[in-house]
Amino acid sequence: MPSLKEKLLEMRDRRSALLATNFYNAETLRGVLEAASDLGQPIILQMTRSSIDYLGLPVALAMGRAGLRHHGVEGWIHLDHALGLDLVADCIDAGFDSVMIDASEQDLDRNIEATRRAVALARATGANVEAELGFVAKLGQEADPAGLTDPVQAARFVEATGVDALAVSIGTAHGFYKAEPRLDLERLEAIRRLTSVPLVLHGGSGVGEASIRAVVARGICKVNVATETKDAFVRGIKRELLASSGIDIRAIFPPAIRDVKELIAQKLRMLMTEGGHA
């Protein structure tokens, strides 16, 4: 199986993209992997610090690896939005395929320095390193048009850090949208022209198929989805709890797992080419 670095470069050259979705427990993991298995699609499994703290690092990693093997899915384990290098180092040492250092809310020089250090940490294992440049609003934050990624800065950032993949701000945000965001496709094209690394779209939840296909055609190689995955599972659990007086979670969870599976299948189909593959 290729490394994630190699796979993302393949996606870049093919003008295609991988879906990256967070998982939070055994049930969301199962829903994600059943969708990928049924469609024969590769996938990136992501975890944030919150999920790692909830599950425990060795358990979370083992769950992801075992799930990929069990379902026969080509996939990689990625650390999502690490704010500090301590967690980056822990995940690299544990055997993650990829890590993201997110110093995007610091000034440019500090972002460069943190990313450069993450790249140095990853050299021992060859793990893929992702960073973010620009402001992609997180939950509870207001979107800021002034925080969109500057293409010239992006070129400088990639050159200075040696980063393997770059998450860019072109109008998306983490969480739910009141209306589908208007993406700055010209900005994305400029970033692609000035950089050579695979580009990443954060805030993929709620972005329609036409917009997803448009950004992939312009250089996005990895599309992140998290909010919708959580939402699908929680809505399913609430529905089943209201409809049942039983206490057997093995009867309550499967419909919610199917909801996650259907969502992820929909997202994967957005990224499938005419040949049937991402």
Which segments are annotated as binding site for dihydroxyacetone phosphate? Answer: 175, 203-205, 224-227
Would you name the residues annotated as active-site residues? 80
Q: How many CB atoms lie within 10 A of CB 246?
A: 11
Q: How far is CA 196 from the centre of its chain?
A: 19
Which segments are annotated as binding site? Answer: 81, 102, 132, 174-175, 202-205, 224-227
Residue pointed to by tokens 């979670």:
249
Max Cα-Cα span within the chain: 59
Single-letter amino acid, residue 137 = A
What lies within 8 Å, CB to CB, of 129 at 6+ separation is 98, 99, 100, 101, 115, 118, 119, 122, 163, 164, 165
Q: What token pair was written down for 14?
A: 């093919």
Residue pointed to by tokens 């992140």:
224
Strands (E), the chain: 18-22, 43-47, 75-82, 98-101, 128-133, 165-168, 199-201, 220-225
Q: Are 14 and 51 in contact (CB under 8 A)?
A: no
What are 271's strand-pairing partners?
Answer: none
